[in-house]
Structure 1
């Protein structure tokens, strides 16, 4: 009998906690939606009370931001091109070094062969 009573108590506690968790999750979702709606309302209210001068300063600031964006894009592209040219340069330099080393080896072989002929 005592076991049944403890089992029922345990089940009721677990059900209560799970229901409390569900309700808190639902409340958090509702609060998040409410906050987003309030922020949107504030933004609309600020735009509706803005004057022509505010719109003009906003337009000039947006033009300035766009110009900065174009400069950043240009500099990014330029940096990428410089990096790629360095990579190509180092590959060409490595190829040239291999060719030079091969030429030097040929020259040393030729000179050693001529010395052996001269000695004979």
Structure 2
């Protein structure tokens, strides 16, 4: 009987904890939604009271940001191309080194054969 009572208390505590967690998450979601709506309302109010000069300065700043974005994209592409050129250069250098070693080994073989013939 005591085990059943302990089991019921344990299950009851698990259920109450899970229900409390659900309530907290629902309250957090409602609070987040309310904060989002308030921020949106403030942004709309600020835009409605903005002057022509504010819009022009915003357009100038946006154009500046766009030009910076294009520069960053260009520099990123240039860096990528330079890295790829280095990779190609090192592969060509490796192949050339292999050819040079093969040529040297052939010349050494010819020289050793020539020495054997001379002896």
With the length of structure 2 as denominator, give the TM-score of the two structures: 0.88
Cα RMSD for the two superposed structures: 1.9
Q: Deviations over 1:74-120 (max 9, x none)?
A: 0000000000000000000000000000000000010111111111x
Any gaps of 5 or more consecutive residues in structure 1?
Answer: none
Q: Tell me how many residue pairs correspond in the alignment.
A: 119
Alpha-carbon distance between aligned partners in 1 of 2:2 and 2:92, rounded to the nearest angstrom: 87
Deviation for aligned residue 1:25:
1.5
Deviation for aligned residue 1:23:
1.7
Quote the residue 2:79 is aligned against.
Answer: 79
Alpha-carbon distance between aligned partners in 1 of 2:18 and 2:9, rounded to the nearest angstrom: 14
For the residue of structure 1 that corresponds to 2:25, the secondary structure is helix
Deviation for aligned residue 1:6:
5.7
Residue 104 to residue 10, structure 1, CA distance change in 2 (3 Å):
closer
Quote the residue 2:51 is aligned against.
Answer: 51
The runs of at least 4 consecutive aligned structure 1 residues that moved more than 2 Å come to 1-22
Alpha-carbon distance between aligned partners in 2 of 1:101 and 1:4, rounded to the nearest angstrom: 85
Quote the residue 2:32 is aligned against.
Answer: 32
With the length of structure 1 as denominator, give the TM-score of the two structures: 0.88
